[in-house]
Structure 1
Amino acid sequence: MAGTTLPTPIYPLYADRMHFTVLTTTVIYATYAGGVLVALVLFGRWSDAIGRRPVLWAGIGFAVASAAVFLSADSVAVLLVGRVLSGLSAGLFAGTATAAVIEAAPPSWRGRASSVAAVSNVGALGIGPLLSGLLVEYAPEPLRLSFAVHIVLAVLAAVAVAIAPETSPRHGRITVQRISVPPEVRPVFLIAAVAAFAGFAVTGLFTAVAPSFLANIVGIDNHAVAGVVVGSIFAVSAVAQIVSTGLAPERAVAIGCAILAAGMVTLAVALHLSSLIGVILAAVISGVGQGISFSRGLAAVMERTPTDRRAEVSSTYFIVVYVAIALPVVGEGLASQVWGLRAAGLNFAVIVAILATMCLVAILTREARDARREISA
C-alpha cells in the first residue's frame, strides 16, 4: 500500500521535467482511483472463490509493474499507466489482505486483527510519501530510487505471502461485486458516505497537492518536508481509528465531522498566511477527523446492514471513498488554473468544511428526533 502514495513528493520533479501544471498532477493522482474502482467491482469477490494468496500475488504483480513503469517514465501518458496499475494493486489488496489478516489471527487476537489490518493499510499510506520524500531529498537518483526500493519491498511481500498459509475456505464463485444499499440502511449510509467523502477528499488533496502548496505558497521546496506533511495525515488517521473504536458510531461520526471542519478552517488560515506550521497542523487535525468519521461511519452502516448484504454495502461505501479521492482533487486542479493555487485551496477548504458541518447537523438532528420519540413513547 505504501507504493500507492510513494510518488507524491516526486510529482514536482516530474512537473519540472515534463512541464505540466497542478491540474495535470491532480489528474495523474486521480487516475489511481479509477484502477481501484475497477479492481473493487470486477475482482472484489475473487479471493473468496480462488483463495487469498493468488489474489495477493496478483496485487503484488500490479505493484511491481507500476514501480517498473515509474522507473522508466518519460511522459504524462506513462505516468498515467503507472497510476492505473498502482490503483489495481490497491484495489486487490484492500479487501483481500484485510480478510487474510483477520482469518490468520489466533483466537486471542481476533478482536484486534481488524485494527491491525486497518493500521497496516492506512499507516502504509503515510509511510509511502515519508520514505520517498527522504530518498528524493537526500539520496541519489531522485526519480528512480524510491521505485527500486518499492520493488524490493514487493518481492519481500511476495515471499511472505508464499510462506503464509492459505486462509480462505474458497467458497462461492467468481462474480462481479454487486453495488447497492438496502432501503433500511440508506438514511445512515447517506450521512456516513458524505462524511467519508469529505474526509477522503481532504486526504486526496494533501496527497496530490500538498507539495505544490508548500513550494508555491509557503515557499518550501524540501521534498522530505512534503513527505512528512502528507505522511502525517495518514499516521494520525490510523491512530484515531484505533482510539475511537470504543465510541458509539453515529456520535463518533459527528465528532469526526466537527474535527474535520476545524481542520479545514486551519488549512484556510494556513494558506492565507503561507504558514508551514499551519499546513502541518491542518493535516494533523484533518487526519484525526477523517480517521474517526470514516471508520466509525463504516461501523454505523455495518450495524444496520443484514449479514448477507455486508459485502455489497461495504463495497458501495468504498466506491464513494475512492470517488472522493479523485473528483474533488481534479476540481482543485481545474480551479487552480482559473483562480490560482491559493484561492483554489481556500475554496476547497470552505466546501469540505460545509459538507462536514452538514453531516454534523444531520446527525444531531437525528439524535434529537430519536430522543423525542423515546420520551413520547
Structure 2
Amino acid sequence: MDGDRRGWRECLLSGAVFAVCMAGTTLPTPLYPLYQEKFGFSELTVTVVYAVYAFAVIGVLLLAGNASDAVGRRPVLLWGLGFAAASAVCFLSATGVGWLYAGRLLSGLSAGLFTGAATAYVMELAPSGGASRATFVATAANMGGLGCGPLLAGVLAQYAAWPLYLPFAVHLALVAASAAVLLRLPETVRERLPLSTVRPQRPALPLQVRAVFGPAATASFAGFALFGVFTSVSPAFLARSLHLTDHALSGLVVALAFFASTAGQLAVGRVGVRRSLPLGCAVLLAGLALLAGALRWDLLALVVLSALVGGCGQGLSFRGALSAVAAVSPADRRAEVISTLFVVAYAGISVPVIGVGFLTGPIGLEGAGLVFILCMAVLVSTAAVYLLRRPVAAGT
C-alpha cells in the first residue's frame, strides 16, 4: 500500500513537471499582439515565429526521439527543462524579432525532448496495474499544460505589471522548481547505453499499417492545424475584428481548445477507438464550421464554441488515431510508427499556419482563415468518408 502511494505521488509529480514544460511552449500566445506593437512586424512573421517551434519539435523527434530509451528519462528531461529555461531567457531579453525566433526554437527543442520521454516516465512511475490512470495523468499534463500557458500569460499580462516579462519570469521559476523535483524522482531506465547509440529515426511504415495510417494521419494533421491557427492568429483576430484587447480573455479562448482536447481524449474510453476516429473527424468538421462562422460574422460566441467543439474533435480523433496506429504496428516498430504520426501532426501545426500568414496580406486575416478552413474541411471529410467505408478493426 505504501509502495502504491509513493508510486502515485511520483507519477503525479512527474506529470506536474511535464505540464510546466508544455505550458512554456504556449506562453507567448496572447502576447503576440503586444510584440507586434513593440517590434512592428506583420502577421506573416507571427505565424513563422510560431511555426519555428513545430519545426524544432519535428527535428528532435527525427534525430533524438528515442534518446531517453538509451540514456535514461531524467537526463533527457533535464535537458528539456534546460532548453525551456533558455527559451524564457530569450523572451526576457527580447529586443527584436530575432529573440522571438530563438525563444521559439529552444521551446520546440524542449517540447520535442519531453513529448515521448515524459509520457513514458509518467507511465513507468505509476504502480503496477495503474496504466489507465497513468495514461490520463500523461494526457492531462500534456494538453492541460498547453492550455495553462496562454491562460497564465494572459492573466498576468492583463492584471499585473511588465506584461512581456512577468509571464516568463514566473515560468523560469517554475522550471527551476521542476528541475529540483525531477532530481528527487527515481530513474526508470535500468540499463543505460552511451549517447552514441542514439541514431536518427527515418519515418517509415510497415505494410500492415498503411491502410490505417492514411486517414489517421490526415485527421491528426487537420486537428493540429486547427490548434496552430488558434494559438498563432486568434489573438490578432480578437483584437482587430472583435476589438477585444483583454489579454486574459484571449488566453482563455486558446486554453479552452486545449482543455476540450483533454476531454475529447478521455471520452475515447467510453466511445471506443473504432468509433472515436470517424466521430472525432465529424466533431472536428463542426468545429471548423463554427470557426468559419466566427470569421464571417465576427462573433465571440462562435469563437468560443469553435474552440470547445474543435478541441474536443481534435482530442477524439488524435487519441483514436494514436490507438489505432499503435494497435496495428509490429511491436518492434511501434515507436517508429508513432513518431512518424507525431511528425505528420506537428507538420500540421507549422505548414498551414505559415500559409495563413502568407494569405493575410493580400486577402486579409478573415479571408485567409476561411481558405484554411476550406482546405482542412476537405481533408477531414476525406478521412471521415474513408473511415466510414473502411472502419478500423474492432480489436483496436
TM range (shorter): over 0.9
Is residue 187 of structure 2 the alignment partner of residue 166 of structure 1?
Answer: yes
Tell me the SS of whatever aligns to 2:385: helix
User: Which residue of the partner structure matches residue 163 of structure 2?
Assistant: 142
Amino acid at match of 2:85: V
User: Which residue of the partner structure matches residue 206 of structure 2?
Assistant: 182
Alpha-carbon distance, 1:155 to partner:
0.6
Is residue 239 of structure 2 the alignment partner of residue 215 of structure 1?
Answer: yes
Amino acid at match of 1:354: V
Amino acid at match of 2:49: I
User: Which residue of the partner structure matches residue 270 of structure 1?
Assistant: 294
1:115-173 deviation digits (Å, cap 9, x = unpaired):
21011001100000000000011100011000000000101110111010001123563
User: Which residue of the partner structure matches residue 320 of structure 1?
Assistant: 344
Amino acid at match of 1:298: L
User: Which residue of the partner structure matches residue 132 of structure 1?
Assistant: 153
CA separation in 1, counterparts of 2:203 and 2:245?
42
Is residue 136 of structure 2 the alignment partner of residue 103 of structure 1?
Answer: no
CA separation in 2, counterparts of 1:297 and 1:315?
13
Question: Pick from 361, 370, 376: which aligns with 2:385?
Answer: 361
For normalisation by structure 1, the TM-score amounts to 0.96
Structural RMSD (CA)? 1.4
Tell me which moved more, 294-303 or 242-251.
242-251
User: Which residue of the partner structure matches residue 63 of structure 2?
Assistant: 42
Is residue 314 of structure 2 the alignment partner of residue 294 of structure 1?
Answer: no
Alpha-carbon distance, 1:74 to partner:
1.1
Alpha-carbon distance, 1:249 to partner:
2.0
Alpha-carbon distance, 1:247 to partner:
2.9
CA separation in 2, counterparts of 1:70 and 1:155?
17
User: Which residue of the partner structure matches residue 19 of structure 1?
Assistant: 40
> Given that residues 251 and 363 in structure 1 are in contact (C-alpha distance below 8 angstroms), is that contact kept between their aligned partners in structure 2?
no
CA separation in 1, counterparts of 2:302 and 2:272?
31
Is residue 363 of structure 2 the alignment partner of residue 339 of structure 1?
Answer: yes
Question: Pick from 76, 82, 101: which aligns with 2:97?
Answer: 76
CA separation in 2, counterparts of 1:81 and 1:344?
27
Amino acid at match of 1:47: S
1:197-276 matches, cutoff 5 A: 197-276=221-300
Amino acid at match of 2:209: V
Amino acid at match of 2:314: Q
User: Which residue of the partner structure matches residue 174 of structure 2?
Assistant: 153
CA separation in 1, counterparts of 2:206 and 2:131?
28
CA separation in 2, counterparts of 1:367 and 1:76?
47
User: Which residue of the partner structure matches residue 3 of structure 1?
Assistant: 24
For normalisation by structure 2, the TM-score amounts to 0.91
Tell me the SS of whatever aligns to 1:218: coil
Alpha-carbon distance, 1:246 to partner:
3.5
CA separation in 2, counterparts of 1:34 and 1:346?
24
1:250-278 deviation digits (Å, cap 9, x = unpaired):
42110000011111111111111110111
Question: Pick from 196, 212, 235: which aligns with 2:220?
Answer: 196
Amino acid at match of 2:302: G
CA separation in 2, counterparts of 1:249 and 1:55?
31
> Given that residues 250 and 363 in structure 1 are in contact (C-alpha distance below 8 angstroms), is that contact kept between their aligned partners in structure 2?
no
User: Which residue of the partner structure matches residue 19 of structure 2?
Assistant: none
CA separation in 1, counterparts of 2:348 and 2:223?
8
User: Which residue of the partner structure matches residue 375 of structure 1?
Assistant: none
Question: Pick from 113, 116, 135: which aligns with 1:92?
Answer: 113
Question: Pick from 47, 50, 56: which aligns with 1:29?
Answer: 50
Amino acid at match of 1:41: L
CA separation in 2, counterparts of 1:294 and 1:358?
16
Alpha-carbon distance, 1:280 to partner:
0.6
CA separation in 1, counterparts of 2:274 and 2:373?
24
Tell me which moved more, 196-205 or 358-367.
358-367
CA separation in 2, counterparts of 1:334 and 1:105?
46
CA separation in 1, counterparts of 2:198 and 2:120?
17
Amino acid at match of 1:87: G
CA separation in 2, counterparts of 1:40 and 1:162?
24
Alpha-carbon distance, 1:367 to partner:
3.9
> Given that residues 48 and 169 in structure 1 are in contact (C-alpha distance below 8 angstroms), is that contact kept between their aligned partners in structure 2?
no
Alpha-carbon distance, 1:113 to partner:
0.9
User: Which residue of the partner structure matches residue 281 of structure 1?
Assistant: 305
Alpha-carbon distance, 1:177 to partner:
2.4
User: Which residue of the partner structure matches residue 53 of structure 1?
Assistant: 74
User: Which residue of the partner structure matches residue 305 of structure 1?
Assistant: 329
Tell me the SS of whatever aligns to 1:359: helix
> Given that residues 47 and 170 in structure 1 are in contact (C-alpha distance below 8 angstroms), is that contact kept between their aligned partners in structure 2?
no
Is residue 88 of structure 2 the alignment partner of residue 64 of structure 1?
Answer: no
Unaligned 5+ segments in structure 1 are 372-377
Unaligned 5+ segments in structure 2 are 1-21
Tell me which moved more, 62-71 or 173-182.
173-182
Change (3 A) 1:171 1:185: farther
Amino acid at match of 1:303: A
Alpha-carbon distance, 1:53 to partner:
0.7
Tell me the SS of whatever aligns to 1:143: coil
